Amino acid sequence: MPDACLDRAYLMFPDPWPKARHAKRRFVHPENIRQMHRVLKPGAIWRVASDHPVYQEWVTEVMGQQDLFDAPPPAKERPEGWSPTRYEAKAFREGRVPFYWTFTRRP
């Protein structure tokens, strides 16, 4: 993809790869963060949602250690304008609380 070609990106309920030895396979990973920064326009947003506790901790930790995106704490209710997904519905049925992050690409 060309540099700075996207206004917005979504990563909704990705596979959590919960085992520590599989962490390198998680989408939210330092190399992928750099690639998302490259393809998003300055000021563009990257929306991420997860209901898996291991992935929630991972996203909070990894995004807190980078300086390419503003990384506010996650919301625990789906923000306005986010589409519901079947994975979100499954999480609610099974008693899990999804986290919703909105990261903004820094210049």
What is the predicted pLDDT for the residue at 27? 94
What is the predicted pLDDT for the residue at 22? 87
CB 46 within 8 A of CB 69: yes
What is the predicted pLDDT for the residue at 80? 92
What is the predicted pLDDT for the residue at 87? 95
- Is 1 inside a domain boundary? no
Residue 83 burial (CB < 10 Å; 0-12/13-18/19+)?
exposed
Q: Compute and round to an integer the Cα radius of gyration of the chain.
A: 14
Give 10-residue mean pLDDT values along the chain (107 residues). 97 92 92 97 98 96 97 95 94 97 97
Cα dihedral sign, 85-61-25-16: negative
Query: Domain limits at 46?
Result: 6-105
- Does residue 51 carry a catalytic annotation? no
- Is 92 inside a domain boundary? yes
Q: Give the domain CATH number at 86.
A: 3.40.50.150
Q: SS3 for 28?
A: coil
Number of structural domains found in the chain: 1
pTM across the whole model: 0.92
C-alpha pair distances (Å), 44 with each of 13, 34, 51, 94: 20, 14, 24, 33
- Is 97 inside a domain boundary? yes
Crossing angle of the two packed helices 53-64 and 30-39, in degrees rounded to 10:
70
Catalytic hit among 15, 51, 67, 70: 15
What is the predicted pLDDT for the residue at 105? 98
- Is 62 inside a domain boundary? yes
